[in-house]
Structure 1
Amino acid sequence: MNPDLLYYFLAHNKPIRTGYIGAVAICPALTFTNQPISALPRDIDSKQGGRTKASDTLVVFFGATAGANGGKLGSDERELILLVWQIVDLHENKVGKLQRTLVQPDSLDLSEQCKEETGLTAEELCKAEPLESVLQQSVSAELKSLGRSSYTLCVDGPQLIRQVLHPEASKKNLVLPECFYTFVDLKKEFHKCCPNAGPAKDLTLTSMLDSAVEQEAGLREVKNMVLLILHLLAEPYNHNFSTFQTVNYKFESGACSKTEAVDSETVIRARGLPWQSSDQDIARFFKGLNIAKGGVALCLNAQGRRNGEALVRFINSEHRDMALDRHKHHMGNRYIEVYKATGEEFLKIAGGTSNEVAQFLSKENQVIIRMRGLPFTATPQDVLGFLGQDSPVTDGTEGLLFVKYPDGRPTGDAFVLFACEEYAQNALKKHKQILGKRYIELFRSTAAEVQQVLNRYMSTPLISTLPPPPPPMVSVPVLATPPFITTGSTRDCIRLRGLPYTAAIEDILEFMGEHTIDIKPHGVHMVLNQQGRPSGDAFIQMKSADRAFMVAQKCHKKMMKDRYVEVFQCSTEEMSFVLMGGTLNRSGLSPPPCKLPCLSPPTYAAFPATPAMLPTEAALYQPPLLATPRTPQAPTHNPAPALAYYSPQLYMNMNMSYTAYYPSPPVSPSTVSYFAAPPGSVAAAVAAQPTPAILPPQPGALVRMQGLPYNAGVKDILSFFQGYQLQADSVLMLYNWSGQRSGEALVTFPSEKAARQAVAECSNLPISGHPIRLVCCE
């Protein structure tokens, strides 16, 4: 019988007539043996790429889960409940007896599709053995040898091996036998013999025999697969099953060059990852799919910390498509979103051009550890001594990579290579131990993270440490207060005083701990002195006055590095006074110089008025706040203080003495900087501009929702408040410190009246059966 014709019958679910069954005459002496799938010895080198030496025995393998089956097998994260297999001797044209085993899942909840296709019930599965026992039985049965030299699994599509067995075994911490790392995809083998039958991924295998004795699920599928194999072995094809699909044992790290070509059809973006997850954790989430070497790039935020996203590159588009089927699968208690990404995005994160980094990452199969907080005077010998003899560094000092600024100054970061997991674990035990006078942080890292950190610090600065004297900006009016900061007397801000001069925004966020979730977007304001260096002060806008009070109480005189920091509650108005050059002390406010009454307003010469064009590249950065002490010059007779305002395109770094070449992170505000300019240079422009309106306090009232289901989203909340005309950006979901939803949300209403009405009308109404408590926030 022609295999093309056979597959036509299979694909179109047509019964084969009695005359056609004679096609199996190619194997006139069929014999049956009763052996489990792992009863045969094997010597396949499954670590080879896609080819191994030919196997003399195939084990035709079929499985079903408690959810979707067929082409969507494994896409719904349901557990395996059925295994069916049969042995095929390729040399002697013998087949074994059909074997069928039920597998007990952790959850006995079967989908309707599963019940209809398999005919199984929860009562039957209760009596079955769990997957671990089934695997142990198959391994123990290997002692019963039939004299074969090797065997290989044969499946109808890769989903059973890649999307079900490996992910489930990984979640249950089970070790799969080696036979599950190499398999034959029958669809691809058939496509090689019959390329006109259509793409391999679109081929299907369905029932072909109307046999009353073989109606159990899985038995007919395996029998059809065996029949197809026998026809491929016969004339005219004489097919040799020598091309095997492999599953990687582990993820291999490595470097990626920016000049490397990355196919966009092989890249995905994963979101919602735990912040502490490593590249190995991500590789485990995608267990069964082959990730390219160095193909996991953890994304960092502006503070250099992981932001819960990663770009993953697979070996081909087939594996990428199967990865997309794992959308909203779980890593622990968190579900992970999986989306398509591009090769350009991957190279932006993981690509590098530094020869030093390439040489550092050229050593294969190394565990990378990142060290933070090193003393700036630390030497390689100091680091080796700190790590000790129980965690030797690969190649000694060659296994250390210190991160430096372009001018050679150390950043306090370093990356270390270890030859094995044991050495790395010993090193991690030294987390927060002291080197010199500083405690050192150690945590796992990746090759992509090395590239990102080095790219950030070693990039050529667009602007020098101190910007050139800016020209008068005649098109911008004088403002009384910085934009984006609404003045008011509500004490919803805090002031940090006595910060270490090396402190960056990431240090402030770590200092505040769990209270960082209460910071307003763009609400961290670093204050610089006249020289553009940190003044030791910072202001933070909180979401409410009670949150600001709580932070001031809990964090006052808490230690940051080797200094204690004072934390005071203040208002936006008080913050604006200080940011404009005034002072804030326990006795009250001292207004900035521009607010002081004077008969002859002074001019200011913080920077000479040298004509120069503002660099266009500076528009890429957000400026920090600059608190500039005014030095009065000789009195003039100008009618008003000559204070020029420069728009946010002007770049002044928030941490000039230590990160002089880098912009303020996104959590830093979009604010203004004030510089002196000659009075006459902007007088005409100011007179020509309309008087700018001071931004009034924004209307609105806040309502806190409590008791939300953990799966409730913004759409559920908008539906809950249907009729109040709220927008999606009016809802803020709250998360706990571990990154999980806290069951609370804050909702902004257009007026206090609307908020109180919503509380009165909607309190204790349910969302998904959960009564919701509503509270108006003061």
Structure 2
Amino acid sequence: MTASPPSEALVVLFGATAGALGAKLGSDERELILLVWQVVDLHSKKVGTLHKCLVKADNLELADPCQEVTGLTPEGLSKAEPLDRVLLQFSQLVSNDLKTLGKSSYTFCTDGQLLIRQVIHPEASKKNLLLSDCFYSFYDLRKEFHESCPNSAPVKDQTIQSMAEYIGYGIDETEEDFGVWQVKAMVAIIFSMFPGSCVANHLFTAPETVKYNYETGPCSKSETVDRETVIRARGLPWQSSDQDIARFFKGLNIAKGGVALCLNAQGRRNGEALVRFVNSEQRDLALERHKHHMGSRYIEVYKATGEEFLKIAGGTSNEVAQFLSKENQVIIRMRGLPFTATPEDVLGFLGPECPVTGEKEGLLFVKYPDGRPTGDAFVLFACEEFAQNALKKHKEILGKRYIELFRSTAAEVQQVLNRYMSTPLIPTLPTPIIPVIPPPYTIAAGSARDCVRLRGLPYTAGIDDILEFMGDATGDIKPHGVHMVLNQQGRLSGDAFIQMKSSDRAYLVAQKCHKKMMKDRYVEVFQCSGEEMNFVLMGGTLNRSGLSPPPCKLPCLSPPGYAAFQTAAAVIPADATLYQSQALLPQTRTQQASAAAAAAAAAAVASPAVAYYPTQAAQLYMNYTAYYPSPPVSPTTVGYIAAPQAAVAAAASASHTPMLTQPGALVRMQGLPYNAGMKEILSFFQGYQYVPDDYNGLIQLNDQARSVLQAPKDWVCL
């Protein structure tokens, strides 16, 4: 049996799930529990037997509205057959009815698209069931009816009841079986579209289709992408591929090359993806899968724009376009290759059991703008079997290095190549906008327990929500004393710190507001000290076992001899972005005090102004800070570590290279490769503040495998 238009027969299909019905069918991820169908001969206007079949779900619990409308019970469903057997039974019964009517092919006709796209295909995919070809083509009765009757209600507002009323088909009050009247009404609506009826002639000739597989392909930056066809999926497993995402959206038609996995600043996947669909209707259906599950994780689905998709998936490189021109290939990314690796080395590593498409032409090595290899490469395979064989070589040795292999996408190829070919080796801070430096608000660190910690806040909670939650205690909050804690992705973590005017006030707030409700969540409130608050704001953790210091405070970053470095006056990163680069040079304490006094005097004379924080500069700090508060109310602090003069003198005496006279942070690097050069060291410290043009800071010790980096500026510990 095959489904091929124009159809000789229609199978009118109606179904229900254990959850929402009607316009929300399938939006709650509940399983199918009911199928009702009937075969219709379009030419002779004859019909087959009407069949109703219950489906046993894995979870027999029924939503109250479903149980009330359908009249079904968990006890009745427990006696039914599971979905795989019901589909076999369905196929046999339809085949018998077609033989009786003298027909050989058919196409489904459903009330809208939800049953096929949002229920049957997703559930079959999760249960690893192989659907027959007939489920990949169907007619949407609402669209067909509106095309036949343009004066009827819009397609999105159509229902079986409204279409039946339009043709004068009444509701059968005596019919108690849910789904039976719906199928009979759909059959009557179909017959009304043929000659001799009260409605204009209409033929079923253009069925809706469901794509069998996701098609890969390149995307050009010059391509036009409709902003109403793109969504952003968030919360994806980091190891998920484009095929996994396509499977999550099974039943919906994704555009060719329409899955773009997003990468973070380090070139690794961040758990987000942009997905482009063939039209806005498919995109709207995708939005209904918000918080559906991929394995044990729920996936958030939001609207996105075509510009965002092109920024991630678009490319201009002819080399990449040629590499991706071979369609429907499986892409594998290799990471950690030796810098001296050749195409022959990679082909030999993969072996004959996983042949590369086009051999050398199926390899794409990623390089820096100056031609140096990055250690990454992309490989094309003709089928899934070859790709699986290649993935089995994950962490096997090539030369003296183990190689990582994982699935990739065409969009990831574009992103990686765009990033390495366009990003400078040493990023520079943008030019400041505001010449006037606002006075920084420092966070007092002490043992006095005059702060409170709020844990378990709703992720949508803002400053106003916290102030409302505090109630009368709001008046006891210090100015700029509310500190929202963000996670590594820059989103609210559900934690906040509040500085109170005294320890007594903090104690009273903790007693009064602990486990008080905010929106639909209860919030835990604990009394803490300013020191504990600073530890968390700087990236540490505060739990029952005590304080875990932030990465910038860990002593393992320097040898034991440097563990007693003194921390200079703190500078707020959001304010630090307003300083000229000279403002971040190391100064003596007298110079620091003079500069601070001059800045305070200038700010006092100047008229009040709203500070502007350059976006790119702020992002520089965000990339390297584990936790940081929201800039408008409580910018965090960053410590500048000054190297002991004795350590500087000792390093100078051991080196033949002239030392800089100005003080700075002294970092000793042990275990460097013998062939490591200046570029490799500067690349290793990319993102930290140092003068990129001053190479006198690199001091080669007598031991050629070790070097000391004398930073021309105080080292920023983030």
- In structure 2, the gaps of 5 or more residues are 448-485, 492-537, 572-584, 591-613, 625-639, 653-660, 666-676, 695-718
Distance in 2 between residues matched to 1:386 and 1:245, nearest whole Å: 46
| Contact 1:486–1:572 (Cα < 8 Å) also in 2 | no
Go from structure 1 to structure 2 and tell me whether the alpha carbon gap of 1:168 and 1:596 turns closer, same or farther (over 3 Å shift).
closer
Deviations 1:150-204 (Å, cap 9, x if unpaired)? 1001001000000000111111111111111110111111111112213212211
Amino acid paired to 1:424: A
| Contact 2:540–2:551 (Cα < 8 Å) also in 1 | no
- In structure 1, the gaps of 5 or more residues are 1-40, 45-52, 490-516, 523-539, 557-564, 580-591, 598-615, 633-640, 646-654, 677-778
Kindly report which structure 2 residues correspond to 1:637-656, keeping only aligned pairs within 5 A, or say none. Answer: none
Go from structure 1 to structure 2 and tell me whether the alpha carbon gap of 1:59 and 1:203 turns closer, same or farther (over 3 Å shift).
same
- The size of the alignment, in residue pairs, is 521
SS at match of 2:620: coil
Deviations 1:468-505 (Å, cap 9, x if unpaired)? 9x99999799x9xx99999999xxxxxxxxxxxxxxxx
Give the equivalent residue in structure 2 for 1:405. 368
Give the equivalent residue in structure 1 for 2:297. 334
| Contact 2:217–2:410 (Cα < 8 Å) also in 1 | yes
The structural deviation recorded for 1:574 is: 4.9
The structural deviation recorded for 1:460 is: 5.8
The structural deviation recorded for 1:250 is: 1.1
The structural deviation recorded for 1:238 is: 3.2
SS at match of 1:97: coil
| Contact 1:473–1:644 (Cα < 8 Å) also in 2 | no
Kindly report which structure 2 residues correspond to 1:178-577, keeping only aligned pairs within 5 A, or say none. Answer: 178-206=133-161, 208-211=169-172, 214-235=175-196, 237-459=200-422, 461=424, 542-543=540-541, 573-574=565-566
Deviations 1:530-566 (Å, cap 9, x if unpaired)? xxxxxxxxxx9643696758999x998xxxxxxxx98
Give the equivalent residue in structure 2 for 1:109. 61
Residue 157 of structure 1: which of 95, 98, 112 is its match?
Answer: 112
Amino acid paired to 2:344: Q
The structural deviation recorded for 1:386 is: 0.6
Distance in 2 between residues matched to 1:369 and 1:120, nearest whole Å: 49
Distance in 2 between residues matched to 1:96 and 1:569, nearest whole Å: 89
Give the equivalent residue in structure 1 for 2:462. none
Distance in 2 between residues matched to 1:659 and 1:129, nearest whole Å: 65
| Contact 2:426–2:692 (Cα < 8 Å) also in 1 | no
Go from structure 1 to structure 2 and tell me whether the alpha carbon gap of 1:213 and 1:379 turns closer, same or farther (over 3 Å shift).
same
Go from structure 1 to structure 2 and tell me whether the alpha carbon gap of 1:675 and 1:413 turns closer, same or farther (over 3 Å shift).
closer
Go from structure 1 to structure 2 and tell me whether the alpha carbon gap of 1:621 and 1:483 turns closer, same or farther (over 3 Å shift).
farther
| Contact 1:402–1:410 (Cα < 8 Å) also in 2 | yes
The structural deviation recorded for 1:419 is: 0.3
Distance in 1 between residues matched to 2:190 and 2:441, nearest whole Å: 74
| Contact 1:67–1:76 (Cα < 8 Å) also in 2 | yes
Go from structure 1 to structure 2 and tell me whether the alpha carbon gap of 1:659 and 1:619 turns closer, same or farther (over 3 Å shift).
farther
Distance in 2 between residues matched to 1:117 and 1:277, nearest whole Å: 39
Residue 88 in structure 1 maps to residue 40 in structure 2: yes
SS at match of 1:197: coil
Give RMSD over aligned pairs: 4.5
Give the equivalent residue in structure 1 for 2:72. 120
Give the equivalent residue in structure 1 for 2:2. 42
| Contact 2:229–2:276 (Cα < 8 Å) also in 1 | yes
SS at match of 2:160: coil
Distance in 2 between residues matched to 1:519 and 1:425, nearest whole Å: 33
Deviations 1:423-461 (Å, cap 9, x if unpaired)? 001111111111111111100001111111011001164
| Contact 1:373–1:412 (Cα < 8 Å) also in 2 | yes
| Contact 2:3–2:134 (Cα < 8 Å) also in 1 | no
Amino acid paired to 1:452: Q
- TM-score of the pair, normalised by structure 2: 0.64
Distance in 1 between residues matched to 2:267 and 2:226, nearest whole Å: 27
| Contact 2:539–2:550 (Cα < 8 Å) also in 1 | no
Give the equivalent residue in structure 2 for 1:622. 620
SS at match of 2:177: coil
Residue 168 of structure 1: which of 108, 123, 127 is its match?
Answer: 123
- TM-score of the pair, normalised by structure 1: 0.59
Distance in 2 between residues matched to 1:520 and 1:71, nearest whole Å: 35
Distance in 2 between residues matched to 1:555 and 1:573, nearest whole Å: 10
| Contact 1:301–1:307 (Cα < 8 Å) also in 2 | yes
Amino acid paired to 1:163: Q
Go from structure 1 to structure 2 and tell me whether the alpha carbon gap of 1:187 and 1:569 turns closer, same or farther (over 3 Å shift).
farther
Go from structure 1 to structure 2 and tell me whether the alpha carbon gap of 1:485 and 1:402 turns closer, same or farther (over 3 Å shift).
farther
Go from structure 1 to structure 2 and tell me whether the alpha carbon gap of 1:398 and 1:99 turns closer, same or farther (over 3 Å shift).
same
SS at match of 2:259: strand
Give the percent of matched residue pairs that are identical in Structure 1 and Structure 2. 60
Amino acid paired to 1:228: I
Amino acid paired to 2:370: D
Go from structure 1 to structure 2 and tell me whether the alpha carbon gap of 1:148 and 1:407 turns closer, same or farther (over 3 Å shift).
same
The structural deviation recorded for 1:139 is: 3.6
Distance in 1 between residues matched to 2:95 and 2:434, nearest whole Å: 89
The structural deviation recorded for 1:330 is: 1.1
Distance in 1 between residues matched to 2:63 and 2:427, nearest whole Å: 66
Residue 57 in structure 1 maps to residue 9 in structure 2: yes
SS at match of 2:62: coil
Go from structure 1 to structure 2 and tell me whether the alpha carbon gap of 1:659 and 1:57 turns closer, same or farther (over 3 Å shift).
farther
Distance in 2 between residues matched to 1:472 and 1:194, nearest whole Å: 63
